[in-house]
Amino acid sequence: MRTDLFDYQLPEELIAQRPAEKRDRSRMLVLNRTTGECVIRDFADIVEYISPGDLLVSNNTKVMRARLYGRKNGLPEGAHFEALLLNPHPAGEKAPGTRYQAMLKPGKRALPGTYVKLLDHAGNLLINAPGFTVAERLEDGTFVIDFDTADQDSLQAKFGHIPLPPYIKRGDEGSDFERYQTIFAKVSGAVAAPTAGLHFTPDVLAALDKKGVNRAEVTLHVGAGTFKPVSEAVITDHKMHTEHFVLSSQTADAINATRAAGKKVVAVGTTTVRTLESCADPDGTVHAQSGATNIFLYPPYQPRSVDMLLTNFHLPKSTLLMLVSCFADREKVLAAYAAAIENKMRFYSYGDCMLFI
Domain 3-63+177-356 fold is QueA-like (3.40.1780)
Looking at the chain, the domain(s) classified CATH 2.40.10.240 span: 67-159
- Rounded CA-CA distance 103/86 in Å is 7
The yes-or-no verdict on residue 228 having pLDDT over 80 is no
pLDDT in tens, 324-355: 999 999 999 999 999 999 999 999 999 999 99
Single pTM value for the model: 0.92
Domain 67-159 fold is Thrombin, subunit H (2.40.10)
pLDDT score, position 140: 86
For residue 340, which of 320, 311, 319, 298 has the smallest C-alpha distance? Answer: 311
State the chain's mean pLDDT as an integer.
95
Percent of the chain predicted with pLDDT > 90: 89
The residues near 120 (Cβ < 8 Å, ≥ 6 apart) are 126, 129, 158, 159
Q: How far is CA 187 from CA 62, 64, 242, 249, 345, in A?
A: 5, 10, 18, 17, 31
The yes-or-no verdict on residue 255 having pLDDT over 90 is yes
Looking at the chain, the domain(s) classified CATH 3.40.1780.10 span: 3-63+177-356
- What average pLDDT score do residues 271-277 get? 98
